[in-house]
Structure 1
Amino acid sequence: MERTIANLKEMIRAGRGIIPADTVVKGGNLVNVMTSEIYPADVAIYKDMIAAVGDVSDYTGPGTKIIDAEGKYLVPGLIDGHIHSECSKLSITSFAKAVVPCGTTSMISGLDEYISVSGLEGLKEVLAEVKQSPLKVFWGAPYKTPYTIPESTVSFNFTKEVHEEVQQWPECFGVWETVREFLQEEDENTLGAIEQAFKNRLPVFGCAPMARGNDLNGYLCGGVRLDHESYDHEEVVEKMRKGMHMLIRESSVTHFLAENIRAVTEVNPYMARRVSFCTDDVTATDVLEKGHLDNVVRLAIAAGVEPMTAIQMGTINSAEAYRIDHLVGSISPGRIADILLVDSPEEFHVETVITNGQLVAQNKKLTYDLKAPERSTVLKSELKCQKTTKADFEYRVDMINGTADVLAMDVQGPFVRKRRDVVLNVEDGIILPDPEQDVALVSVLERFGRNGNRSLAFCSGWNLKRGAMASSAAPDDNNLIVMGVNPEDMSLAVNYLIEQGGGQVVVADGEIIEFLPLPVGGIASDEEPEVIAAQEKKLNKAAQDLGSTLPEPLMYMFFLPITAIPDYAITDVGPVDYTNLTTFDPVIKLNEQ
């Protein structure tokens, strides 16, 4: 939606009805999110822009295309306020095929997983891919990479000097996902990114799970505008009372809406106008079976939110929070023509999708064949790590036989890991994992050829009884992560991913059970969403056949390197105590026999 003097003249004439509309959406009921009204109105579209709303008879010419919306409700395109689309394992093109038919026409993203594996070169290719897609991405430049304390390894380090360049790009709409601890620790690169944002009048997006009291005050004094991560509705209320825009997250593994929406339904309904939605991390399976932002709107309505309010949360509220409401978020003259035809505000089933003025989806499918671009070597996957052996996944200590008191990272939800003290057997100088006690080994291997780091620690909560599983997609660093109770199977899983150039794999008894290739940077695929969803189910079943009781065993595993939520995580530099912002030794005490 570039504007020059020449095309501004053209757009103004289209708005005045001097130039006829390309398309008119006729006979629908407008859901006006600006005024909280619903009334009959037609919509005139010129190129990618809404030219007029209401009586548009003056805008119809002999070549104007008519879209019949009789009996339907016209809703602005939905905006996902915070998402790592890469976690779906779908490329931008494939992700658009999944979510646009659900009514998601815009998303705010740092595209940071692509940056972690391919730097600015890869990012530019993805941004070019976005321009060929019906899905708009309002890109926020990551506050820094890596996101970890202590600093782990990625292929490209996003610094304050990088911000001086990229914040000038037309694609940049803010600073992405600024983690609280980096402000609290006064990290120079993070503060430099915010300094540039203030100079460029760009908003700073936040990530402050469990931030309350003085820590929250300090965070806000760092200039952060909004947050997408609260663990209960009291946290939402405090953040909103202190001036933040709040995004309620409902992802495939963190179902926060039911709890966080209580800030609106129980505490103060007037808070609703500054609340919006995001999905953060979704699977292809979830989107195909439940929907995307449309499902979140329906969940909010079911939780007691008025349909108009829920639709505002999915549209204009997000646009205003991110300062993009002059472009998207409402069906208004001068905005981009992103329009949904839905059955009713109450049921909210999306039947037709118009993006950038073009009809692109009907009945949950795109109306045309969207092709992924040819991939350059920048985004073709190569895992630059050495092959492993069984010995690489044996935890060796200076004692022949006995027991070891060990700290295992115990998963309690996809991101929260707590301390669990266990006693494990030591045989021939090796601490053994113990499936009966639900204790597995986990390792992260640096895969960009920068230093060859490898870590090893213990974890609980997966209930693996045999075998191993591994993934080269593991936000936010996307190093190679492997978990198992058999070092030989762990080595086989890692070596297979190295040979295949990335993906996800489940191994048992020396055999490859299931494998999903991820050829785009080792984190995504250009396959159809249905193909990825089918393979997701196979991988999860294979992991569950090994004993796992988690709903998404591989997704829970690949979140282990995320350090931004207390208490524990693991990266290529070692197991991390995030409360104290340091690595730790998981062996507490050795007890010689």
Structure 2
Amino acid sequence: MTLTGIIRIVPRETICKMVQNETTTLWGNVVDILSRTIYGAEVTIEGGRISRIRRTGKKETSYLLPGFIDAHIHIESSMSTPAAFAQTAVQHGTIGVVTDPHEMANVLGVAGIDYMIDNIKDLPFYAWTGLPSCVPSTGLEGTATVIDAAQTARLLKRDDIHFLSEVMNFPCVIQRGPEMMKKIQAAKDAGKSIDGHAPLMTSKDLKAYIAAGISTDHEAISIEDGREKCAAGLHILIREGSAAKNFHALHPLLKEYPEQIMFCTDDIHPSDLLKGHINLSVKRALALGYDLYDVLRAASYNPARHYHIPVGFLREGDSADFVQVNNLEDMRIEATYIKGVCVYDGKDTCDFPEVTATPNIINNFHALPVSPADLAVKAETSRIRVITYQEGELITGEEIHEASVCGGFVQSDTSRDIVKLVIVNRYCPAPPSVAFIKGTGIKHGAVAQSIMHDNHNLIAVGVNDEDIAEALNAVIKAKGGIAVSSPHKETCLFSLPVAGLISPLPVRCIAEKYEQLEREIKALGTPLSSLQMTLSFMGLIVIPSLKLSDKGLFDTNAFSFTNLFV
């Protein structure tokens, strides 16, 4: 079973509601987060800017707020093109995102970055793009491309690249590795900010990391973690995405450090994007009783100020970027305006045309089919290291377990929730890397995919070698996608033809097909809300503690490879 759909290509010149030379007048209660006031007003828009604000002296029906900004996201996680993503996000009051295209960069290099920028650059949406700092993330994995310090310096001079994206190789920064420090210096020389990635970092390491020039972190997972980083001067991005959900732990920071807090999703699935975006964090914070202006600052002004995004804040002369909502409790989006364009009127969005990818950069996929025999693990000792996963966290643990051995080979053991985890290099023929993971809950079958942060090699989890090989081979044949195999059932495949990461379909179509895929995954027995999203992070060796790469088990704390057998 292959999940497909119809692609509709619309010329840019047919975009509706984008005539910026028209005059528009609307009425509402203006929420001025800079003066911390609310007043009824008549707002006039001309040439994409607010030409006049006349106070009416009375309470109006709707409220006008600054538009929301996601302060850190990898758009590729939505499996949609930037234009398709934006067309959905504006329905939730999002006017812009601070985006790091390092998924596409890891697969396609600079051509991947250009694809992400070009796909949306002429549309009414602020896609504030950074330059991936770690391509590859560590140099310890099989990868396709390298963006070195010299190339980083050249790219940071571009006007359409606005900051150095999250510096994930934090040990290299702490130890002042020459290549990474050259990249950081290049950002400083270009006058551009540097994003951080500091999971579980504390004390001297944190101080050394910040001293290098890092200004943000979105990896805080506890209030103590967040407070220490805020006190040290970092801007903390409260992350509430599809995989990592840290709002509950970190929301007190909104009151304690209101000028340093922003909201982000980091990674968001298409189904979740249809339900909401930054507006959901805004509503949750207000429901908890936090100050309206502090919450809206975190959702708009703080990221705009930090990243120098030229959005408006409902002042005369500002770019006409704002959201109209029914009230300050429900926060139902009635309209979204960007650069004077009504991109969403409460029912419909204007067309955000797609751009077809150039054929020679559309993908990078050279993996060969695997056989069940390729996945067999011969028992060397009686005990093995097992990756442990807990839902809602990207940080994994390590446990030592007695191996379940049959015929001299280590097997999955569903009675203890221990199953096989496999990674295959997608860029060149290479033997699979095999380990074991606890916490997925699957009872039979397998899932394989070409989405695996950050190098996007193939990753699979499953109970037996036959099903794992079948799922992997379905993805390999399609040159990218997600596959579910199960005994006595046809393999279900959702293809992702753009770099093995993105579908050219609209987000709603992607979500429908993804939800069908999720039902197939749930049928394997997993209790996880999204095994697919979880799987995508099990090879990210810059997040503690034990992960798998295509070259073997990796201990992130020691930042070195370790043995499966103990």
Q: Note the alpha carbon deviations across 1:420-466, whole angstroms, 9 max, x for none.
A: 222123333321111222111111111123x6363111111012211
Residue matched to 2:535 = 557
Q: How far apart, CA to CA, are the structure 2 residues paired with 1:53 and 1:563?
A: 52
**323, 328, 333: which one aligns with 1:345:** 328
Q: Give 2:370's aligned residue.
A: 388
Post-superposition CA distance 1:449-506 (Å, at most 9, x none): 3x63631111110122111100111121111111111111111111111111211111
User: What residue in structure 2 maps to residue 276 of structure 1?
Assistant: 262
Give % identity: 26
Alpha-carbon deviation of 1:329?
Answer: 5.4
RMSD, aligned α-carbons? 2.1
**What TM-score results when the alignment is normalised by the length of structure 2?**
0.91
What does 1:225-240 correspond to in 2, within 5 Å? Answer: 225-240=215-230
Measured in 2, the distance between the counterparts of 1:213 and 1:128 equals 41
Aligned to 2:555: 577
Measured against aligned partners, the alpha-carbon deviations of 1:48-95 in whole angstroms (never above 9, x if no partner) come to 333443469xxxxxxxxxxxx952111122110000111121221221
Alignment of 1:425 with 2:404, yes or no, is yes
Q: How many equivalent pairs are there?
A: 543
Partner of 1:74: 64
| Pick aligned residue for 2:315 from 325, 332, 339 | 332
Match of 1:440 in 2: 419
Task: State the distance in 2 between where 1:575 and 1:46 align.
Answer: 59
Q: What SS class does the counterpart of residue 72 from structure 2 fall into? A: coil
List gaps (5 residues or longer) in structure 2.
1-19
Q: Distance in 1 between matches of 2:545 and 2:446?
A: 24
- Give the superposition deviation at 1:24: 3.0
- Aligned partners of 1:136, 1:154: CA distance in 2, in Å? 30
Amino acid aligned to 1:537: E
Give the aligned partner of residue 313 of structure 1: 298
**Paired AA for residue 242 in structure 1:** A
- The 1:390/1:135 distance shift into structure 2, 3 A limit, reads same
Shift of 1:564: 2.3
The corresponding residue for 1:64 is none
Q: Distance in 1 between matches of 2:498 and 2:266?
A: 20
* Aligned residue among 512, 517, 520 for 1:534: 512
Is 1:23 aligned to 2:2, yes or no?
Answer: no
Matched, 1:104 2:94: yes
**Ranges in structure 1 where 5+ consecutive residues have no aligned partner:** 1-19, 57-68, 589-593
Show the 5 A alignment for 1:407-422. 407-413=385-391, 414-422=393-401
What are the superposed Cα offsets for residues 499-548 of structure 1, whole Å, 9 maximum, x if unpaired? 11211111012644432111111101121222222222222222221111
1:45 counterpart SS class:
strand
Give the alignment's TM-score, normalised by structure 1.
0.87
TM-aligned CA distance change 1:542 to 1:475, over 3 Å: same
Counterpart of 2:106 (choices 116, 124, 127) is 116
Q: Which residue, 140, 154, 157 being the options, matches 1:168?
A: 157
Q: Pick which of 571-580 and 178-187 moved more.
A: 178-187
The 5 A counterparts of 1:258-297 are 258-265=248-255, 268=256, 271-289=257-275, 291-297=276-282
Question: For residues 333 and 564 of structure 1, what CA distance do their matches in structure 2 show?
Answer: 45
Provide the residue aligned with 2:37 in structure 1: 37
Residues 172-200 of structure 1, C-alpha deviations (whole Å, 9 max, x = no match): 11110112323113233321111111111
The change in CA–CA distance for 1:474 and 1:333 in structure 2 (over 3 A counts) is: farther
Residue deviations 1:186-235 (CA, integer Å, cap 9, x gap): 23332111111111111111111222211111111111112122111122
The match for 1:466 is 444
Residue 475 of structure 2 corresponds to residue 490 of structure 1 = no
Contact in 2 for aligned 1:274/1:321 (Cα 8 Å): no
* Residue in 2 that maps onto 1:142: 132
* Match in the other structure for 2:237: 247
CA 1:189–1:142 in 2, change beyond 3 Å: closer, same or farther?
farther
Checking the alignment, whether the CA contact within 8 Å between 1:258 and 1:303 is kept in structure 2 is no
2:339 — aligned with what?
A: 356
Aligned to 2:77: 87
Q: Secondary structure at the match of 2:134?
A: coil
Please give the alpha-carbon distance, in whole angstroms, between the structure 2 residues aligned to 1:333 and 1:452: 60
Cα distance in structure 1, aligned partners of 2:394 and 2:53: 45
What is the CA-CA distance between 1:382 and the residue it aligns to? 5.0
The answer for the alignment partner of 1:3 in structure 2 is none
Between 1 and 2, higher relative CO (CA 8 Å, sep ≥ 6) is seen in 2
Q: Is the 8 A contact 2:21 2:48 kept in 1?
A: no
- Secondary structure (helix, strand or coil) at the match of 1:122 reads helix
Query: Does structure 1 residue 154 correspond to structure 2 residue 143?
Result: yes
Q: Which amino acid in the other structure matches residue 393 of structure 1?
A: L
Q: Give 1:333 deviation, angstroms.
A: 4.0
1:365 alignment partner, SS class? coil
Q: Secondary structure at the match of 1:441?
A: strand
Aligned to 1:24, what secondary structure does the other structure show?
A: strand
Distance in 2, Cα, partners of 1:135 & 1:525: 20
Which amino acid in structure 1 is aligned with residue 557 of structure 2?
T
In structure 2, C-alpha distance between the alignment counterparts of 1:404 and 1:334, rounded to whole Å: 71
On the 8 A contact 1:26/1:70 being kept in 2, the answer is no
Correspondence for 2:204: 214
Change (3 A) 1:440 1:418: same
**SS in structure 1 of the partner of residue 73 of structure 2:** coil
Number of the residue aligned with 1:8 = none
Distance change (3 Å), C-alpha of 1:510 and 1:133: farther
How far, CA to CA, are the matches of 1:111 and 1:261 in structure 2?
Answer: 27
- After TM superposition, give the deviation of residue 170 of structure 1 in Å: 0.6
Residue 125 (structure 1) shift: 2.2
Aligned to 1:185: 175
Equivalent in 349, 371, 384 of residue 406 of structure 1: 384
Q: How far apart, in 2, do the equivalents of 1:330 and 1:486 lie? A: 56
Equivalent-residue separation in structure 2 for 1:130 and 1:47 (angstroms): 21
Deviation track 1:377-416 (CA, whole Å, cap 9, x = no partner) reads 2443352111111111111246xxxx72111101123412
Post-superposition shift, 1:155?
1.8
Distance change in 2, residues 1:425/1:229 (3 Å): closer
Which position in structure 2 is the counterpart of 1:13?
none
Q: CA contact under 8 A between 1:78 and 1:315: conserved in structure 2?
A: yes
Opposite residue 345 of structure 2, the aligned amino acid is Q
| Secondary structure of the corresponding residue to residue 370 of structure 1 | coil
Structure showing greater radius of gyration is: 1
